[in-house]
Structure 1
Amino acid sequence: MSMIDAVHAREILDSRGNPTVEAEVALISGETGRAAVPSGASTGEHEAIELRDGDKKRYGGKGVRQAVKNINNIIAKDIEGLDALDQAEIDAALIALDGTKNKSKLGANALLAVSLATARAAATYVGLPLYRYLGGANARVLPMPLMNILNGGAHADNNIDFQEFMVVPVGADSFREALRTGAEIFHSLRAVLKKRGYATGVGDEGGFAPNLRSNEEAIETILEAIINAGFDAGRDCMLALDPAASEFYENGSYVFKKSDGRKLSSEEMVQYWKSWSEQYPIISIEDGMAEGDWNGWKLMTDEMGSRVQLVGDDLFVTNTEFLQRGINEGCANSILIKVNQIGTLTETLDCIELARTNGRTAIISHRSGETEDTFIADLAVATNAGQIKTGSLSRTDRIAKYNQLLRIEEDLRGAGRFPGRSAFYQISQPAQDAAASNGRNQKKARAAKNK
């Protein structure tokens, strides 16, 4: 029987040493599923509410014992006896039980833990891998990894304004080769930083977090690492950014308060990104404008949306209401998908489907506070999303997802497909070629400088 027999939750620690929720769902037949919930450092204003205890004497107020109690004492009683194979029914019951728009009563962390654990239990019950259970027979696309190898912003205690600098191995012909490319560049970057006398400690997501002279130096250092690793910047590997602009948006201006203190208007911020995209081999920019700056987003999309993937994270918070507004107003051409921003699996899948039917890419993403849970790896393949963000090439909480994707690729054998450049299907091939040529131009300029 696939009916839910018991639900149990506990408080565990995430990758930053902060408490988070883990839930287990047991079926009458004996199968179980377990899931742990991540949490973010830079969060969107409209994200579903993560319930914290607020007791400053315990974990600095970040305990989740109340969320755990909500699962064990309230949610468990409500969903025991329901069919785990009916994910939509389970999630609808969770949403109704909470009764708030932002899941603030029981906590999105409580609801999500149960939602994901239920899916795992159901997959075990039917004897299928999680990705196959969620996605069906057509789940076969391995995602292009966007690997965050240099951290700044809210993810690191350094002087870099922008949160994530990523490498994207567009020239790889398999996920395994893409992972190798990223790993070799990561180690090359360590060597470059050491040679320049910079620290090689890592940030929350496993990327290096040095104090550089400028935001531009972050890009140039990564390009040097790509070349030193034996890859062609632009052809083999491109760049992606997550500036997390909401974090440095103050009173209608973008303020580079961690670096040179400059203050830019929305129009100037768009021109800044446009200049970077014309100078460097950049294929994707996430949260290049602040979440409340819809006019800025519209301007950026009009100026750059035909040749750069423009990803809304804080702008959309994995919520169909905000995504639909973005579609209607022509803001962004891609969405970042974070399961804990919305709080249930069904709502997450609905958001991915809305993006796809409107010609927008969906990138499955981790959070800065992660666990060893690998659910998002399976979710990326299940939905044929084509892209994933799950950190750098260090820290087991990040590597766990990459290793799960290696297992899935092996399991798929010849049926699996790695998208390569087609992962960015909303960007035309000529536009991608133009961005790639920026990498070659940078290489020539570097060679001339070193003569």
Structure 2
Amino acid sequence: METIIDEIYALEILDSRGNPTLRVYVELLDGTKAYASVPSGASTGQNEALELRDNKKRYGGKGVLKAVNNVNTTIANALIGMDATKQKDIDYSMIELDGTENKSKLGANAILGVSMAVAKAAAKSLNLPLYQYLGGTNAVRIPVPCMNILNGGEHADNSVDFQEFMLVPHGAPTFAEGLRYVAETFHSLKGILKKRKLATSVGDEGGFAPDCESNEAAIELIIEGIKKAGYKPGKDLSIAVDNAANSFCTNLKDNYNLIWSGKGKMTSDEIIDLAGEWLDKYPIILWEDPLAEKDYKGFKKFTKKYGDKIEVVGDDIFVTNTKYIKDGIKKNLANSCLIKLNQIGTVTESIEAVRMCRDAGWRYFLSHRSGETEDTFLADFAVAMDGGHLKTGSACRGERIAKYNRLLEIEHELGERAEYRWD
């Protein structure tokens, strides 16, 4: 068959933070060539699949030559001769080859690079766009971009504890218009920051990282930016928040210490009450990781109080793993799951996580990582999964814009068939 894998190899490249990652190349018997680059996270859950690093002097211990070698030898030897269109067989062959629960032998970064490159090669060989190859002919929904506009926590060196404040252009008629709404607001906010002599430098994902008087002041700035850009908060643009609560929870259970803002220690109930105050005052429609990954009681209480009003997203608590998602569904810990390809390590397992959410009536929120590359796989994957919304960074930094530009291309290709809606 022409779609038989003929060659697989990897290179060590750099991600958007200047740290090493992998680029994996796949060639098929028909001459089709494709490659994929692997992202890397900074704010990570304890149960994520392992990103294999060399732990030697070069690159401060962050080199990935071991993972590269695993692709070039062990994985290549096992997969060459397999049919690239058999994605599930290929992914589970690598999982079995690794043999560990968290992919620590071969490295989730090595396995994911191959998994994505194989999918790209198969789609290209069949002359199908990747979103259609993975999602079928009914993959026509372009996700609403939840654009990171202000950073804090581990993604910025400032006085804001919560990691991400995002703009959500749910009131736009198309993706292209939604992208315009958030880009214009991004520049509007920049003008406000400059006028107040606040920093306009950006964090890892392209959002601004000013020193604010408080966490709430960050939202006030964004609301002002929305209005200055000529839009109506809550109608045209709303806000999504990612606490990334692991980053300020010392025991990953219920002891919170808002160290960056200097607000000090807070209990789980106090975090939940603060969220309620904000929800009464501001147009927030999504809240990600409001509590730490092991604060199950807090997550359940948060979802019970606010889950009928907003989307409550679990990231570190679920790590795109069906084992933890299933438990979360059973215990009503959230009503949505963040989906990150490198958190679990294969395309197939990411799709299985999406299906589990869909079957349970949960939403699922496709996401990039803070350490990204110019690879646009995520944009196609988001359309294929029909999730309705995506976060992939701000209105600057090329590795973020690449995904948005790819979605513009897809919307153009689909023409009148393209759908854009939040619900």
TM-score by length of 2: 0.99
| CA deviation profile, 1:62-94 (whole Å, cap 9, x unmatched) | 000000000001100000000000000000111
Corresponding residue number in structure 2 for 1:28: 29
Deviation of the 1:266 alpha carbon = 1.2
Q: Distance in 1 between matches of 2:68 and 2:417?
A: 41
CA deviations on 1:281-329 (whole Å, 9 max, x unpaired) are 1000000010010010000011110001100010110000100010000
Report SS of the residue matched to 1:356.
helix
SS at match of 1:137: coil
Larger displacement relative to structure 2 (254-263 or 135-144): 254-263
Task: Report the counterpart of residue 52 of structure 1 in structure 2.
Answer: 53
What are the within-5 Å matches in structure 2 for residues 398-413 of structure 1?
398-413=400-415
Pick from 382, 385, 388 the counterpart of residue 387 of structure 2. Answer: 385
1:279-290 alignment runs, 5 A limit? 279-290=281-292
- Return the alpha-carbon distance in structure 2 between the equivalents of residues 308 and 364 of structure 1: 17
- Of 309, 312, 328 in structure 1, the residue corresponding to residue 311 of structure 2 is 309
Q: Distance in 2 between matches of 1:305 and 1:364?
A: 19
Partner Cα distance (1:358, 1:36) in 2: 32
May I ask how many residue pairs the two structures share in their alignment? 420
* CA distance, structure 1, for counterparts of residue 256 and residue 305 of structure 2: 18
**Distance (whole Å) between structure 2 residues aligned to residue 155 and residue 131 of structure 1:** 30
Query: What CA deviation, in whole Å up to 9, does each residue of 1:212-258 have, x standing for no partner?
Result: 11111100000000000000011110000001011111243111111
Does 1:17 pair with 2:18? yes
Q: Measure, in 2, the Cα distance between the counterparts of 1:415 and 1:236.
A: 23
CA distance in 2 between partners of 1:382 and 1:172 (Å) = 21
Q: For residue 372 of structure 1, what is the aligned residue in structure 2?
A: 374
Letter in 2 for 1:270: I
Q: How does 1:40-439 map to 2 (within 5 A)?
A: 40-55=41-56, 57-251=57-251, 252-419=254-421, 421-422=422-423
- Matches of 1:238 and 1:212 in 2, distance apart? 20
What is the distance in 1 between the residues matched to 2:33 and 2:262?
53
Q: How far off its partner does 1:261 sit?
A: 3.2
> In the aligned structure 1, how far is the partner of 2:217 from the partner of 2:83?
54
Moved over 6 A (4+): none
Identity of aligned residues (%): 54
Task: Quote the Cα distance in structure 2 between the aligned partners of 1:262 and 1:51.
Answer: 35
| TM-aligned CA deviation for residue 274 of structure 1 | 1.2
Equivalent position amino acid for 2:315 in 1: D
The structural deviation recorded for 1:263 is 1.4
1:2 paired with 2:17, answer: no
Structure 1, gaps ≥5 residues long: 423-451
Read off the aligned partner of 1:194 and give its amino acid letter.
K
Q: Summarize deviations over 1:313-369 as a string: whole Å, max 9, x none.
A: 101100001000100000111111000000000000000010011111111100000
Distance 1:19 1:391 in 2: 20
In the alignment, the residues of structure 2 paired with residue 145 and residue 75 of structure 1 have an alpha-carbon distance, to the nearest angstrom, of 35
CA distance in structure 1 between the aligned counterparts of 2:318 and 2:159, rounded to whole angstroms? 28
Q: Which runs of 5+ in 2 are unaligned?
A: none
1:21 aligns to what SS in structure 2? Answer: strand
Equivalent residue letter for 2:288: E
Secondary structure of the 2:136 match is helix
TM-score, length basis structure 1: 0.92
Aligned-partner residue type, residue 245 of structure 2 = A
